[in-house]
Structure 1
């Protein structure tokens, strides 16, 4: 019934608004995907990539990037509470440990656990766009891009502007964000600060989140540019049901710091970027919030990295190359004190085979001091059948080493396994994309054959979870999406965007008799997403999003969210949002009961 309702709503909007027109949307063909080496326009990519533009970020009924990603086809967001205070991101059936988060190409990998991957020290107001790569990304980004990667892009502006946002809502929720762009001569800079808090939607689910982000860039001349970044986030939250239902008074506090400095040289043939960055994450965890002496963990991890990436244009096409060195350290009263180093070499080539066919192939060779050398080859073949229609196929090998939690954790409900081996996968996909005028459509089939999958298991509910290597797991999936974005127009009631997508995954996990698995079959089986953005007059916008989600091991659910903006791009705008309008009873992760219908509203002040 809910699927039928979704189809009726979308169909009705299409029939009523198909003749209308729109402004304020970005042509996808103009977007250059920001990989660290070879950079290709979206329409010429032979991969399944979703791009979330700034207007979409601003009009989606969401208070966090985690919530926005929940509307991206093929992305599985498993929240433990509202506004993504703690959320795991999976792509194509992969776990939270198998997705790589990046900020302007900088890897946010945490050696302690993938649960910290979304500790992103950038307020939403500062994000220009988000690029989601689905499928193996090891050849492009390295070992943690096992099932996909999410790259958050910020931009330095040449114009002065200030933005102040504030909101409040149910569960004593409130937040304030400030962002400013203050260029001076050849120096451009962004500064943003935000704070969010809530009393929580159920017992022991309150949170407080603070973010600080500063970015600067200096153009030395036409060929040389320096860029620096400092970011910090502090988040504390009640963790009822986050990791176990046996202790409802769990509590956690996290502080993540990030610093980076880069230099870019470019001319008509060469582009070389060198950078150094450091990431620190401090994690305090209590099993009983007000009794730290009962059970308490302190983990502090540091990552230091050097990278050099570049590309070169020649008669053979475009050559991409890169080097990286990383050192990861952790000091923990539970996991112990450890460190490991890795080095990587990237090499790839993009060549044209005639006027319509192109081939991109390469390899990433990685050295870990604990596991030696591993090599990740990959290739994509594209055929431009017409100006609008592109067929493509690709192969890639992916790899992930165990986290320190996988290896060494000791707790009442979870125990690590120091004998774990890295997990590997062979990936294949074939698809077609159509980009013409206001339409974008894509259809993809993918297959992932996993060796030595790292999965948490237990023989019964009285035994702690412990990770093991499964011999083989196969994933097969289909992804289909259609988006319609209008061109500019002057009608009083116009459709600005309409989208619908469907994703299906079949996971062939041969479970061992008497063994219960924790994450492998928590992935998406069916995902149906729909939405439309309507403009009413010159200042009013109404965005509605719908999701039907069915996972392998959880009950399916349908969610309906909506947002109304007035004068969003003007000097003073206001908005109102409603989540779970359908008042659905559902769980996304762990044993956290997500809230029913809830509301918030706020303002945006824009000054130039």
Structure 2
């Protein structure tokens, strides 16, 4: 309670700083949310969406996207270590398997396991923005968008530029990042490279992470354009306690490659995008780091996909449509050799009833080679009550098929279940958004009823974990958020941003007696997030972030992080960061003890 009061007190204190309120606000409302078919500005969305733009990416005290997402309301980040070595992302009480990650609309799901969902082969310095869609997103993005989706967006620049960032810190931590744009005539191209490593903050927690990302695009004429992307990430790390506390010498090495090519036709009323992409993930896991013969897993998974997405504007509104074909396969010494095929059809309609009411409804039908046809209907209703206030409500269904780890894994502490059936859910939400001048607020209530929930259980501590279709779970939650934000004015002291949010989730479980649950009883219950960004003079920025997190059966914890930037927008800037300033003793995932207070500092070079 004292820590919660401290959070509130710091937030109130931040309001006491005098700030100029007539500065132009950032144009977040005009940003088009990237949903592959019907594209709607952020301000007209009838859903609960959080947008993280470049200034927030640059000023948050974090070394990875995973750490940045931990400050998003309703998002539960379970890190195993620091700097995004490995993290699970849950939304609205959902598990890490129930969130869909995307890169520029490309699905990054891995048929092996959701633990690889955040192996995003893009250096943080090259990300333009991140869109977090909370609630069922199967109708928009397809299967596995069970509780929400996170879409990472990059942009091709029309001007030459080079950004270099380097840093070092506690635990022997160091890193270097390069991101450059080199347009040639009508051809736009970006290249980003990064390398991070650390000796580790505890025994067997060292890591090395490398990323390389290239994208290029050309505008063929007024209506046609091409865009391609190649990316690769290599993550090697000591995995002390990552999957079981019985073996502290666990080790893992993961390589992920991604390639895509797309064509876009943009007419006056007709839009159509075709896309092909391939993703490969190679995973080597050892139970004893220096004894691979004791127990070793080698998995190679491939995903090949073709998509076509379009929209047409008529007197009836905007019609969105799409088709996809997807092939998933795996070769593994543990899981065996398997493959499956998925086909999907999208259809949706946006209708405006006058200037105040709009309805968006649609259906996603999916065929699985293992489970046959499944259908996901959904709809959102929006009412623009005034220029500042928008009310909305939505319903939808979602679906997740088991991963190959769920089905076939064989290990000393975990055993798969080949008889698993897909899990499904029905969701409802109602909320309101208010935006005026430099202020923004949102309040939303949501309900999700899950059936055939896949949960890892065991009868006693001496037995291995095994997934079962046991639980029916009802999630009820409330999310409230308030934000104040203006552009820099160069004042001596200026309050640039204030953020405050509260999330409450109530989970009602129904399971068989005598079974111990592994993940269900660790769902998020209370979450308070606060922060403020203060500008001092023209070049100094001070960002403070606070989190209070309580899960159902775990002890709550409070974290305080800070970052100071000097001349961030200039040619040469410097920064310093501190995490867990309160030196909290806490765990986010499994039995992995997170570090106490730790620091890092570095430089930024911006050339055009």
CA deviations on 1:275-300 (whole Å, 9 max, x unpaired) are: 00000000000000000000000000
Match of 2:15 in 1: 14
How far off its partner does 1:487 sit?
A: 4.2
5 Å matches for 1:191-230?
Answer: 191-230=191-230
Determine the structure 2 residue equivalent to 1:288.
288
C-alpha displacement of 1:471: 4.5
1:251 corresponds in structure 2 to 251
Distance in 2 of aligned mates of 1:134 and 1:500: 18
1:186-223 deviation per Cα after TM superposition (whole angstroms, max 9, x unaligned): 10000010000001110000000000000000100010
Is 1:435 the counterpart of 2:457? The answer is no
Q: 1:514 Cα deviation (Å)?
A: 1.1
Q: Give me the whole-angstrom Cα distance separating, in 2, the residues matched to 1:540 and 1:489.
A: 12
User: Per the alignment, do residues 174 and 471 of structure 1 end up closer, same or farther by CA in structure 2, a change over 3 Å counting?
Assistant: closer
User: SS of the counterpart of 1:84?
Assistant: coil
Separation (CA, whole Å) in 2 of partners of 1:200 and 1:554: 25
Aligned ranges for residues 176-575 of structure 1 at < 5 Å? 176-575=176-575
Distance 1:242 1:306 in 2: 35
Contact in 1 for aligned 2:455/2:471 (Cα 8 Å):
no
In structure 2, distance between residues paired with 1:406 and 1:395: 28
Asked if residue 137 in structure 1 is aligned to residue 145 in structure 2, the reply is no
Q: CA deviation at 1:437?
A: 1.6
- What is the alpha-carbon distance in structure 2 between the residues aligned to residue 488 and residue 78 of structure 1? 34
CA distance in 2, matches of 1:543, 1:27: 21
CA distance in 1, matches of 2:310, 2:196: 39
- Separation of aligned partners in 2, 1:552 and 1:526: 9
1:300·1:331 contact (CA, 8 Å) conserved in 2?
yes
Q: Which residue is 1:71 aligned to?
A: 71
Number of the residue aligned with 1:576: 576
Secondary structure, aligned partner of 1:4: helix
Distance 1:233 1:34 in 2: 24
Find the aligned partners of 2:324 and 2:408 in 1 and give their Cα distance.
Answer: 27
C-alpha displacement of 1:472: 1.4
Query: Secondary structure at 2:208's aligned position in 1?
Result: strand
Unaligned runs of 5+ in 2: none
Match of 1:592 in 2: 592
Matched pairs, number: 607
CA drift at 1:592: 0.6
Residue in 2 aligned with 1:98?
A: 98
Measured against aligned partners, the alpha-carbon deviations of 1:107-143 in whole angstroms (never above 9, x if no partner) come to: 0010000000000000000000000000000000001
2:577–2:600 contact (8 Å) kept in structure 1: yes
CA–CA distance in structure 2, aligned partners of residues 68 and 532 of structure 1:
15
Length-normalised TM-score, structure 2: 0.99
Deviation, 1:391, is: 0.4
CA deviation digits over 1:503-560, x for unaligned, max 9?
Answer: 0000001232110001112111000000000110000000000000000121100000
Deviates more, 1:325-334 or 1:26-35: 26-35
Mind listing any 5+ residue stretches in structure 1 that lack a counterpart? none
**Counterparts of 2:447 and 2:362, CA distance in 1:** 20
SS of match in other structure, 1:139: helix
Aligned residue for 1:594, secondary structure, equals coil
Q: Secondary structure at the match of 2:248?
A: coil
Alpha-carbon contact 1:21-1:487 (below 8 Å) kept:
no
SS in 2 for 1:83: coil
1:388 Cα deviation from its structure 2 partner: 1.1
Q: CA deviation at 1:18?
A: 4.8
Q: Give SS of 1:184's match.
A: coil
TM-score, with length taken from structure 1: 0.99
DSSP-derived class of the 1:290 partner: coil
> Is the 8 Å Cα contact of residues 330 and 338 (structure 2) preserved in structure 1?
yes
After TM superposition, give the deviation of residue 576 of structure 1 in Å. Answer: 0.1
**Deviation readout 1:430-489 (Å, 9 max, x if unpaired):** 000012221110000000000000000000110000000025110000001000002453
**1:29-40 mapped onto 2 (5 Å cutoff):** 29-40=29-40
Secondary structure at the counterpart of residue 17 of structure 1: coil
CA RMSD between the two structures: 0.9
What CA distance in whole angstroms lies between the structure 2 residues aligned with 1:204 and 1:192?
A: 29
Cα separation, 2, equivalents of 1:102 and 1:493: 38
Q: Give distance in 2, aligned partners of 1:18 and 1:506.
A: 38
Q: Deviations over 1:383-409 (max 9, x none)?
A: 000011000000000000000000000
**By how many angstroms is 1:105 displaced?**
0.1
Distance 1:343 1:510 in 2: 33
* Counterpart contact for 2:484–2:498, Cα < 8 Å: yes
**By how many angstroms is 1:354 displaced?**
2.3
Secondary structure at the counterpart of residue 119 of structure 1: coil
* Paired residue secondary structure (2:115): helix
- Say if 1:446 and 1:319 are closer, same or farther in 2 by CA, change over 3 A: same
SS in structure 1 opposite 2:171? coil
Please tell me whether the aligned partners of residues 20 and 494 of structure 1 are also in contact (alpha carbons under 8 angstroms): no
